[in-house]
Amino acid sequence: MLFYIVQEVGWPIWPLLVCSVVALALVIERFVFLKTSKVAPARLLDEVLQVSRQQLPSTDTVTKLAQNSLLGEVLASGFRQLQQYPRSSESDLRSALEGAGRLAAAKMQKHLGALATIASAAPLLGLLGTVIGMIEIFGSQGGPGGLTAGGGDPAQLARGISIALYATAFGLVVAIPSLMFWRYFRARVDQHLLAMEVASERFVRHLMLLRSGG
């Protein structure tokens, strides 16, 4: 069926095929990247607090923490700030965590703009394909005397219009799932950001205790 539609509609549907492939690739990539285990593992903060209960962890441990997940990167930034500047104030620690948090947020939101663009552009590309198809159909059906003078076949015209409308339908088929996944991923990102914000608040208090020597 898909091959038939592509063959009948012609070149106007190719941009939509490209959009569908790109959208599918982005959805798969975001599903993999935004897994909880890669962003904010449930037990990570408790484990970090336990390991660093008495003193700051070693540089190697902090490096491994940063490689664990996005939340690990944020927590590691707090340890590094305190290692480099032992007398850091609470404001300094918060700034370090917020900077790492912004970088983590940017990584989570990566490609979501492209997915939203596809969701917005696909219906327009489908409509463009339909309009181009209709222009070509009426141009070929006109004939010397026009449709009213018997210059065109109404049955052929109806078939041509139905084929042209495939472009609009295909545009919606691409746009609707793209929009749904974009909203889903936005909600996932917001959920992860909230979890990281709550974890950072606990972690700042922990770092202040470490700085004061317990």
pLDDT digits (tens, 9 = 90+) for 47-71: 999 999 888 999 999 999 999 999 9
Would residue 133 count as lying in a domain?
A: yes
- The model carries a pTM of 0.84
Tell me which residue range forms the domain holding 106.
2-138+159-211
Whether 88 is covered by a domain: the verdict is: yes
User: Is 66 part of any domain?
Assistant: yes
Do the domain assignments include residue 148?
A: no
Task: Provide the CA 138 distance to its chain's centre, in angstroms.
Answer: 41
Tell me, yes or no, whether 117 lies in a domain: yes
Please say whether the beta carbons of 22 and 118 come within 8 A: yes
Q: Where are the alpha helices (DSSP H) in the chain?
A: 2-9, 14-33, 36-39, 44-51, 59-68, 70-84, 90-109, 112-142, 154-211
150 lies in some domain: no
Instruction: Report the domain count for the chain.
Output: 1
| 173 touches 66 (CB < 8 A) | no
Within a domain: 33:
yes
pLDDT tens readout for residues 70-117: 999 999 999 999 999 998 899 999 999 999 999 999 999 999 999 999
Flag whether 147 is in a domain.
Answer: no
